[in-house]
Amino acid sequence: MKKEKWFEKLISIRRVTKVIKGRRIMAFSVLAIIGNKNGKIGLAKSKSKEISLAFQKAIFKAKKKIIYIKIINGTLYHEIIGKYGASSIFISPAKEGTGIISGKSSKAVFDVLGIKNIISKSYGSTNPYNIVKATLNGLCNINNPSYIFNKKK
């Protein structure tokens, strides 16, 4: 059995504080994404007192939450809109040689998915977690061309 190669990306790091009687407890919250550059992707959020531990925990959680997204020739079948919370993102396929034209958070998603040619524009909230969830939400709603053709009949 061949072991799959996973690519990991750190999307955001936040320092968070829990205030208790007499002191503050500092920790780090990490948003990480994992993918095989062939359509499989996982996303997770984790907290720990050290950044490296939080990142390891997030990667471990992300491996348990893998989803599959259909891509063709390094791009998508059609335009999509993804929404999550106050964030929305418009994703459009692009021709060969265009590259990834996108914001930082959604660019990480496209990179680990293996999408090479795409254009996206985000609207509303710019929270990295919401942008990534909106991107994944939109990508999960992709339909293949034969389904769209039959639906129009």
Per-residue pLDDT of the chain (153 residues; tens, 9 = 90+): 567 889 999 999 999 999 999 999 999 999 999 999 888 999 999 999 999 999 999 999 999 999 998 888 888 888 999 999 999 999 999 988 899 999 999 999 999 999 999 999 999 999 999 999 999 999 988 877 676 667 766
Neighbours of 38 (CB within 10 A): 13
Mean pLDDT of the chain: 90
Within the chain, which residue ranges are assigned CATH 3.30.160.20? 7-67
* Contact between residue 33 and residue 41 where contact means Cβ atoms under 8 Å apart: yes
Separation CA 26–CA 13 (nearest Å): 13
User: pLDDT tens digit string along 100-123?
Assistant: 999 999 999 999 999 999 999 999
* One-letter identity of residue 77: Y
In the sheet that holds 66-68, the strands lie side by side as 7-20, 23-35, 40-48, 66-68
Which residue, 75, 9, 68, is CA-closest to 40? 68
CATH of domain 71-152: 3.30.230.10
- In CATH, the number for domain 7-67 is 3.30.160.20
Give me 125's structure tokens.
């909230």
